Amino acid sequence: MAARRISSLLSRSLPLISSDGKKSYFGRRIYRYSTAAALEDPIKPPVTVEYDKLLINGRFVDAASGKTFKTLDPRTGEVIAHVAEGDAEDINRAVAAAREAFDVGPWPKMTAYERSKIMFRFADLVEKHNDEIAALESWDNGKPYEQSANIEIPKVVRIFRYYAGWADKIHGLTIPADGPHHVQTLHEPIGVAGQIVPWNFPLLLFAWKVGPALACGNTIVLKTAEQTPLSALLVSKLFHEAGLPPGVLNVVSGFGPTVGAALCSHMNVDKVAFTGSTETGKVIVELAAKSNLKPVTLELGGKSPFIVCEDADVDKAVELAHSALFFNQGQCCCAGSRTYVHEKVYDEFVEKAKARAMKRTVGDPFKSGTEQGPQIDAVQFKKILRYIRSGTESGANLEAGGDKLGTKGYYIQPTVFSNVKDDMLIAKEEIFGPVQSILKFKDLDEVIRRANNTQYGLAAGVFTQNLDTANTLMRALRAGTVWINCYDVFDAAIPFGGYKMSGNGREKGEYGLKNYLQVKAIVTTLKNPAWL
């Protein structure tokens, strides 16, 4: 869950490829796909755009400059809406509103229970408007509507209810001292939080950041991805219907070099949280350090290994590896994008992985049964094409896919490479698209060394029936999450974050609260204490 480039200072964005929609002529092979839906006229989304301005101090307002930008339908490349384009002046307005709401407004002075009730009411409203929100999310992003409606928006509701429950359970400690002193700690809100969410999971990552920040009593200035600004504006309106005071949550749409940079370098922003590319994360840390040394939490890129051991049930492993890579059009930071398969089952796995990819239904996100919609935009589309070309040119075997679908939009065939080597770009760099790279290994020591030989450390998957093998791998893999015989399990209570250049800090669960709290020690002298 960002786009993923410095010029966006924001989130994730990548590309697709080309063909006649039924056949792919790339390299030496021709493949057929279950892709009829991609060739039909786009289905009209069951939703309209009502909110396209900036949300500052509880009101929807135009950008100070009066400028707007286009948000596009990934199915066609056509304009959905013109959205207010914020800049540094709008960040100044939003930060001023958030600062006033924190310093003199009612939000941090409410009881934690009162804050939790507003968050619970908001979750109820999101649940009530589930289908409308899901339709807007899929229209702006291109992900299947059934995924948005049945998986992602319910998870948004669950996250907010989870953190609403935490609001009145945040407290400090009483600590014994080596003398006549009463010592206690207070866990206080950090202040104004700047948050930057990506385009691949716009609302889910909105929830991961906004939920814990509000539960702790902070106020927020949130920058949406320029590719997907619409759904955050809609749900923020629902937050105010739930009773959120003005200025507590401000939403500014725009671009990285203007809005993103202004937010990260603002002297009155007390903390920044960012999800997106590692490259952009470095820029954000630098901007934060050069301003007021504000703390930064980062959830960045990944090149996660998915390890299929020799004792695996191959049919189940193929399906799980397929989902681990192709879910959300491959646009997942934690996608299992390096599929390591033991040599004893490698050939069988490759044939079955190829067959599964060729059965994948690619088409209009609003058509029932669609598994894969279009990529986010033309930039991502072209980037994935370059990676696929790189794979064939470097000697990997193109088993399936390798081209675009249709003549409109950013659809791409599910692509599978075998005979992939660790030094190939498709095995080293984050493609962020529907491209599965299958590599062969001989033993555990080898696969541990190869899996860890990366700058990233976001996630990993292990598929085995042997408990000793699972225990060995879960401890040896240098990653923030290791899934055993499962993948992409994102319970509200499970922390998520990376090792190495995949970021720092954790989101979700109790750990996610720590990003938005600071600890104050209080020491009071005791006179004639009855006990120490």
Over residues 95-147, the pLDDT tens digits come to 999 999 999 999 988 999 999 999 999 999 999 999 999 999 999 999 999 99
Q: What is the pLDDT of residue 406?
A: 87
Q: What is the pLDDT of residue 10?
A: 34
Mark out the alpha helices in 178-310 (DSSP H runs).
202-215, 230-241, 261-265, 278-290
Active site residues: 299
Q: For 156-166, what is each residue's pLDDT tens digit?
A: 999 999 999 99
Q: For 293-349, what is each residue's pLDDT tens digit?
A: 999 999 999 999 999 999 999 999 999 999 999 999 999 999 999 999 999 999 999
Q: At 40, is the pLDDT very low, low, confident or very high (cuts 50, 70, 90)? A: confident
Extract the tokens encoding 100. 């006033």
Residues 75-84 have a mean pLDDT of 97
SS3 of the chain: helix, strand, coil, percent, to 5: 40, 20, 40
329 membership: H or E segment, kind and range: none
- What percentage of the chain reaches a pLDDT higher than 70? 93
Residues 190-218 have a mean pLDDT of 98
Give the C-alpha separation, 497 to 479, whole Å: 9
Q: What is the pLDDT of residue 108?
A: 86
Task: Please state which of the ranges 18-32, 48-62, 88-102, 492-506 shows the lowest mean pLDDT.
Answer: 18-32
Mark out the alpha helices in 433-526 (DSSP H runs).
444-452, 467-476
CA-based nearest residue to 86, from 277, 326, 265, 250 = 250
Q: What is the pLDDT of residue 11?
A: 34
- What percentage of the chain reaches a pLDDT higher than 90? 91
- pLDDT over threshold 80, residue 12: no
Residues 162-184 have a mean pLDDT of 97
- pLDDT over threshold 60, residue 25: no
pTM above 0.75, yes or no: yes
Residues 348-359 have a mean pLDDT of 98
